[in-house]
Structure 1
């Protein structure tokens, strides 16, 4: 199960005892507080705390102006302007703290985003649970023949069964040895900080991850993209659903300008102008490499 009994009891207690506050709240985010959203086979995300809302973004942008200069329609327009022109500082006024349970190999990708505060479950002090990420059959894919860091078609039949058996048996064997090494029954036992090195990268870890909205959008732009690895993308997708309820104006602008938009180089803009003028532009006359041209065609064709 994604949540331990103790974690579920803590959540139930917190939700049963709401506290009054004078700070600004987001009604959409309040519905997510202390609720776990399941991800993969044993993982989850849950919101521990947050600060700010759409109003906090526009308030920061209008720091020199009074409240009389704003309206709901102006707020949405201002947020879209800020997003469109890459004015990032106002989005830093909002923060979110998440509790995430995820496989170690996903955590190692995630931690490359060095713009957050992180505190991870420590296997130096505690014993990790026997929980491993085992992909569903449709996510057991072969290596892509055109992308060194991507997947090809899903494995089928006996090949898929063989790989699944390896993943399950190797994970459990490693954990059995982990337990035996730290056992205190009639033996001294290996230190936990050393015994953990025998564990596979698909074992689950947990952390608290706190980040501002600007850097969260950067994370989501990369990790919720269709080209991102599936196992981290599903976490990003789950976070997107939370952010959409938290800051609806900001998320809509992010979805439009970042997720749904495209950046064009000077050469690409020049080619687009020539095409609009009726010229038949080819890769050879574009001044772009084959890779650049292929990406450009993917945008404009």
Structure 2
């Protein structure tokens, strides 16, 4: 169970006590409020609060009040224009606050996105639960031979079983020692802030993460990408589904221009022009590095 009985009771109480409001409400996001979306083996993402919608983006761009006489398709066109030309400020008018439960090593990667407000569960004041991320067999992979940041072939048979056993045994042993070291009920031992240093990076933590839509899109562009590490990508994908329901016009533009689009260097544009003119262009004649050329060919062949 990813949520504690206390958290579930809090969710039930919140959902059973809706309050009237005059603020803008996004019907698609209302269905996600408080509900936990399971991620990995013990993790989850849930929406705690949000502000704004597609109309808030348009309103900020026009610096006007009310719906006015503009039609929905005009609003969508404006949002696409803003996305296409990298006008970020109107997207900052929307914000979302998430409650996330995630492994510590994923949190350390996630926190590199420094444009959010974060408050994490404190192991100085509280005792962490005995919960560890253990990858499913299909996600156990060797180091890639061509990418220093990626994975290669999936481990098979006895090797996969050996690695899984090591992960489980080390996690259990570390937590056993953590419990043994803790000062509890007046007994001698280590303070919580010291005992926690023995825990592995796959132990679960929790935090509240509040971010505006512009910076959330940047997070999703990197972390929901197929090349992102699986363990953070599944969180990004879960959040993306919520954002799609929250601001459908903005998410559609983001999906088209950021996730589905390609940014080209001046050299790449020149190569495309030369190709369209009928010229055969090689990597050596392109002015691009081998890495740039490989990425270029990956898109354009």
TM-score by length of 1: 0.98
Structure 2 segments unaligned to the other structure (5+ residues): none
Deviation string 1:218-253 (CA, Å, 9 cap, x unpaired) is 000000001100000000000000000000000000
Seen in structure 2, the aligned counterparts of structure 1 residues 24 and 185 have a Cα distance that, compared at 3 Å, is: closer
Distance in 1 between the 2:16 and 2:68 partners?
A: 38
Aligned alpha-carbon RMSD (Å): 1.2
| Number of residue equivalences | 301
Distance in 2 between the 1:230 and 1:87 partners?
A: 30
Seen in structure 2, the aligned counterparts of structure 1 residues 36 and 178 have a Cα distance that, compared at 3 Å, is: same
- What SS does the corresponding residue of 2:68 show, helix, strand or coil? helix
Q: 2:296 maps to what in 1?
A: 296
Distance in 1 between the 2:290 and 2:220 partners?
A: 28
* CA apart distance, 1:64: 5.0
Q: 2:57 maps to what in 1?
A: 57
* CA apart distance, 1:68: 3.1
Q: 1:111 maps to what in 2?
A: 111
Given the alignment of the two structures, is residue 122 of structure 1 paired with residue 140 of structure 2, yes or no? Answer: no
Equivalent pair of 2:220/2:236 in contact (CA under 8 Å): yes
Q: 1:280 maps to what in 2?
A: 280
Deviation string 1:105-151 (CA, Å, 9 cap, x unpaired) is 00000000000000000000000000000000000100111111110
Q: 2:32 maps to what in 1?
A: 32
Structure 1 segments unaligned to the other structure (5+ residues): none
Q: Give every structure 1 segment of 4 or more consecutive aligned residues whose post-TM-superposition deviation is greater than 4 Å.
A: 64-67
TM-score by length of 2: 0.98
* CA apart distance, 1:276: 0.8
Distance in 2 between the 1:268 and 1:184 partners?
A: 63
Distance in 1 between the 2:12 and 2:158 partners?
A: 44
Distance in 1 between the 2:285 and 2:114 partners?
A: 41
* CA apart distance, 1:183: 4.5
